[in-house]
Structure 1
């Protein structure tokens, strides 16, 4: 990665086969951040996870175009959690953010997400709070609500939504907790948020506007894996 001054904020965009979305996402994040911060205040890291559709080429070109955009490439598929963690380990920010490349969460919430880390260690957008505005197919909505109900019931979480791909962390707190996380993929951030609560960190969720992306990489068979992950964490 390029050398540079210490950025206060790191924004990670996990990208696996996102050739049609990545450049739009980077440009939108830069546009939103420019309203409140200088380019020296933040960095964008593209955590490109073994893509096969040319996402790696797009990511490399974006990193060459902008001084505060970086490309972290993996030849092998790491999984969502490990790819994000790998990028955070190479980051400079005191505030660590990750968000989905499809920009399902309205990007106008980005400043609010970052600002909440002034008072909380772990912050997540929520699609399931009273004031949240969500557009998604019934089957996806039903599955998500069922999953989050099980997490609250079995793992005693106080959060309504554990999977929203719009989260921010204070750096020191994040690295204290993440070393205890076992999962590397879709259950990664659920486990992270559960452990943060158990370890006594300040955790906050806030309502967001959210719409289902054109295609979701979470398949229904992944739900069985996530349910088994809940049971694994409950039994340990």
Structure 2
């Protein structure tokens, strides 16, 4: 068994969350204070289009770094920024909002230890998961799983749930190769990790409650089409171009992203050491 002395970096990408973001982060802090690892929270504000950044900064959240940039770029882009700044040997992300129960964080951490895993994926389709979402979403989730398995051979049954954890060594190898900005960044990480030989990927149960009906919000037809196009783009880069084998092809990404997060839009929470 590997050492259990770990430092956890939790990345929270957010967009237009001014009404709920502070309470959301405080709830995450409560959960993280119950786990046995020290931690940091990195909130990435994906576009300064409302008062999300200002409210986070005013709240003076412990052990929390806030990163923001002016123009909306997409969740996957925000995750890459958070990963660049993560200090932990465990790097985790969870979607902002209340759809995913944050108590599942400890479950994913335990799975990392049990399986000595490289990656643990929170999965709606795990038999022990408790999920409340529409029949339409369930059909789409199943269909996307079949598509991903056919294209990439990945047997993870749910690549898109917004909670995952990685060893830092995985992020260090994968990050320079990532391209996706919006819809399918989660899948791209798994595809690249598998390509680089990180085979110890497992699923963990989550508790999820979508407060939407039908195909509203994130599951609009335009989003579905965007996911399909981006998925095929990953397939093209992976299978036809062998793109992900060569980090030098995207080595400029890190430098570019760092330039997009200038000093005035980076805020470190007060009392970060306890």
Same topology, TM > 0.5: yes
1:216/1:120 CA distance change after superposition, 3 Å? farther
Once the two structures are superposed, residues 159-198 of structure 1 have per-residue CA deviations (whole angstroms, 9 ceiling, x without a partner) of 0000000011111111202222221112011111122223
CA distance in 2, matches of 1:151, 1:213: 26
Paired residues, number: 226
SS in 1 for 2:187: helix
SS at match of 2:29: helix
Query: How far is 1:213 from its partner?
Result: 4.0
1:217 and 2:218 aligned: yes
Structure 1 residues 75-97: Cα deviation after superposition (integer angstroms, max 9, x where no partner): 11121111111122112111111
- Out of 205, 208, 217, which is 1:207 matched to? 205
In 1: Cα distance, 2:130 partner to 2:62 partner: 35
Task: Indicate the residue corresponding to 1:94 in structure 2.
Answer: 89
Q: Deviations over 1:26-71 (max 9, x none)?
A: 1111111112247xx1111110011322111112123xx2341111
Separation in 1, partners of 2:167, 2:217: 28
Residues 195 and 213 (structure 1 numbering): CA distance in 2 closer, same or farther, change over 3 Å?
farther
Query: Highest CA radius of gyration, 1 or 2?
Result: 2
**Residue number in structure 2 paired with 1:4:** none
**1:68 counterpart residue number:** 63
- CA, structure 1 residues 230+66, in 2 after alignment: closer, same or farther (shift >3 Å)? closer
Instruction: Name the CA distance, whole Å, in 2 between partners of 1:193 and 1:117.
Output: 16
Q: Report the TM-score, using the length of structure 1 for normalisation.
A: 0.88
Contact 2:100 2:207 in 1 (8 A): yes
Q: Is the 8 A contact 1:155 1:233 kept in 2?
A: no
CA distance in 2, matches of 1:91, 1:154: 31
1:57 aligned residue: 54
Residue by residue, what CA displacement relative to the aligned partner does 1:85-124 show, whole Å, maximum 9, x if unpaired? 1122112111111101113222221112123334111111
1:23 aligns with 2:22: yes
For residue 88 of structure 1, give the secondary structure of its aligned residue in structure 2. helix
What root-mean-square deviation, in Å, do the aligned CA atoms of Structure 1 and Structure 2 show? 1.8
Partner SS state of residue 179, structure 1: helix
Which structure 1 residue ranges, 5 or more long, are not aligned? Answer: 1-6
Aligned with 2:112 (options 114, 117, 132): 117
- Per-residue deviation, 1:132: 1.9
SS in 1 for 2:93: strand
Answer yes or no: is the 8 Å Cα contact 1:21–1:102 preserved in 2. yes
In 2, Cα distance between the equivalents of 1:158 and 1:180? 22
Q: Flag the 1:87–1:170 CA change in 2: closer, same or farther, 3 A.
A: same
Does residue 63 of structure 2 align to residue 34 of structure 1?
Answer: no
CA contact (8 A) 2:111 2:204 kept: no
Alignment partner, residue 3 of structure 1: none
Residue 74 of structure 2 corresponds to residue 79 of structure 1: yes
Match of 1:170 in 2: 167
